[in-house]
Amino acid sequence: MESSQRIFVVGLNHLNASVSSREKAVVSSQNLPEILAELKALVPLEEVVVLSTCSRVDVFAVCDDARRGGDLVREWFMKRAGAEIAPSLYQREGHDALLHLFRVAAGLDSWIIGETEILAQTKKAYQAALSLGFTRRVLNRAFQSAIAAGKDVRSATGIQNGIHSIGGATALMAKRIFGEKEGGGILVFGAGQTAEAVVRHLAAKKFDRIVVANRTVENARLIAEKLGGEAVSLDVGLDLLAHVEVAVFSASVSEHLLTTGLMARILAKRRKPLFLVDLGVPRNVDPACAKMDSVYLYDLDDLKRMISDSMEGKLAEKDRAEEQAAAAAADCILELNKAPRLAPAGVA
Please tell me the distance from the alpha carbon of residue 25 to that of residue 14, in angstroms, as a whole number. Answer: 13
54 has catalytic annotation: yes
Cis status of the peptide bond prior to 87, with omega within 30 of 0: no
Per the DSSP assignment, residues forming a β-bridge with 299 are: 278
Selecting among 54, 63, 289, 332, the annotated active-site residue is: 54
Please tell me the distance from the alpha carbon of residue 336 to that of residue 5, in angstroms, as a whole number. Answer: 10
Burial category of 79 from C-beta neighbours within 10 Å (exposed 0-12, middle 13-18, buried 19 and up): exposed
CA 168 to chain centre: 14
Please tell me the distance from the alpha carbon of residue 113 to that of residue 160, in angstroms, as a whole number. Answer: 7
Q: What Cα–Cα distance (Å) separates residue 215 from each residue in 174, 237, 309?
A: 24, 10, 36
Q: What Cα–Cα distance (Å) separates residue 83 from each residue in 66, 88, 213?
A: 22, 10, 36
Please tell me the distance from the alpha carbon of residue 314 to that of residue 296, in angstroms, as a whole number. Answer: 30
Q: Tell me 270's DSSP state.
A: -
- Length of the chain in terms of residues written: 348
Of 153, 54, 48, 137, the residue nearest 99 (C-alpha): 153
Q: What are phi and psi of 202, to 5 degrees?
A: -65, -35
What is the secondary structure of 37-79 as a DSSP string?
A: HHHHTTTT-SEEEEEE-SSEEEEEEE-S-HHHHHHHHHHHHHH
Catalytically annotated residues: 54
